Amino acid sequence: MEKLDTVTRITKNIVFLLFSSVFMDIFSFIFNIYSVRYLGPKNFGIISFSLAFTDLFGIFFDFGLNQLTIREVAKNKKMAFKYLYNIQAIKMFISIIVSSLILFIAFISGYERQIIVVLGIITISSVIRAFSSTFTSIFRAFENMKYETIGTIIYGLSRLAGLLGIIVFRLNVVYFAFIYLLSSLVMLLYLMHIAIKNSLIPKLQIDFYFWKMTIREALPFAISSVFITIYYRIDSVMLSFMKGATEVGIYNAAYKLILPFNIIPSVIIGSLFPTMSQYYANSSQDAFSKAFRYPFKYLLIISIPISVGISILAKRFIILLYGNEYLQSYSCLQILIWSEVLVFLNIALANVFNSRDKQIVVSMQTGISALFNLITNAIFIPRYSFIGASYTTVATELLGFLFLYFKTLRILDDKLFPRTFIVTLVRVIAASLLMGFFLRFFEKLNVFLLVVLSIFLYFGTIYLLKSIDKDELNLIRKILFRNYKGKN
């Protein structure tokens, strides 16, 4: 009975987090499309820069404290009060220092007053979210993700409601920034209400010895966060410093369109993570290798045609979603979409190490990629602007892929990709090229009809070329029905 309760609780939490993630992705996509259209390249660039800049420094708002809180409170629930009170006090102290530093750097950098005001508002919203994340960490430690899910939905709906108000009343970018602040505040108030209902009265506590030990233990989490944030945010910040808000807006308009695709590898690899971990624990090297190769191949089958199709239809997508004002963004989209092929594969490769308790390899890859991204952006942005930033993003993902690929070669005893895999890759490329020729030849068709027809053409070709064998189909069935069989 206890085992069944545990399985039920874990399943419920997974469903809540998945529900939260899907809804947030949908809300964010709608919010981004209408925000980009309403603001225009310059104002959208101001918002994008402010978000990226505060995220870079926002590492210190958290400093790995959330992950540490989850780990330690999960071990000992009685420590919840100690961590909640002291972590909030630490964040309060850090927030005052870091917020002042953010505004000081913006001021001495010569940014115009409007940008500094927007940056200040976004910074306050980041501080509020930092406090909210402490509550969600406590809820996660108690394995109760329901409140986090509801809070996330409240945040997403608040942003959409705020955006609607901004559009209706035709307000400027400064008022637009308040969407983030007010949405964050609404979420914090909800989480505080739930905490109080559960006898977690929010207050600050100062225990300097506890602070010292906690910050020391949180440092490894913080270092990893630094690499990840630099990796994903430094391009927008450097574009702003070296070129201007308009260039940031043009670049981010394209970048926002590729992000939703990341849910595909996350879902596929997430479903396989337990299987690969089990194979590794049972020393089943052959099964482990197969469990890696199959999703790797599926991700190639999915990612390559996506990149081919979007690179061909990039101009039409940009005009359809954003309007002619963002016409320059289509060049960025044509380049950036190819980073998704590498992102898909990197997530699969990273899973090899995560399932074998070798997360340090993934951290090394992120650190090297972050440094490479920083250096190459400094070289190419001054000369090539947002086009340089786009190529740099692809090059960074390629470097990360090569690093993980050669590390994976050392783990898997046999040949990483046998001849049959290479044959499949050739078939995928052939099917993608056929789809590409179709898109070029019938490019005058309605874009929605064109997308649907090209999907049928591609997967029909893949089926005729027999790119997926019976063993792979059996593995898919095993993964899909594993939980069902386990419960019966």
pLDDT tens digits for 172-228?
Answer: 999 999 999 999 999 999 999 988 888 777 666 677 777 787 777 777 767 777 788
Q: Who contacts 233 (Cβ-Cβ below 8 Å, separation ≥6)?
A: 52, 55, 56
Q: What type of residue sits at position 301?
A: I
- pLDDT score at 19: 72
CA dihedral angle for residue 137, residue 140, residue 145, residue 146, rounded to 10 degrees:
-70
CA distance 31 to 279: 42
Question: Tens digit of pLDDT for each residue in 377-427?
Answer: 999 999 999 999 999 999 999 999 999 988 887 776 555 566 667 888 899
- pLDDT score at 121: 97
Q: Which of 131, 175, 202 is CA-nearest to residue 38?
A: 175
Where residue 3 falls among pLDDT bands split at 50, 70, 90?
Answer: very low
| Mean pLDDT across the chain | 84
- pLDDT score at 228: 80
Question: Tens digit of pLDDT for each residue in 243-287?
Answer: 999 999 999 999 999 988 888 887 676 555 445 445 444 555 565
Listed in sequence order, the DSSP H helices in 142-172 are: 146-169
Model confidence, pTM: 0.85
- C-alpha dist (Å) from residue 35 to 39, 246, 253: 6, 15, 10
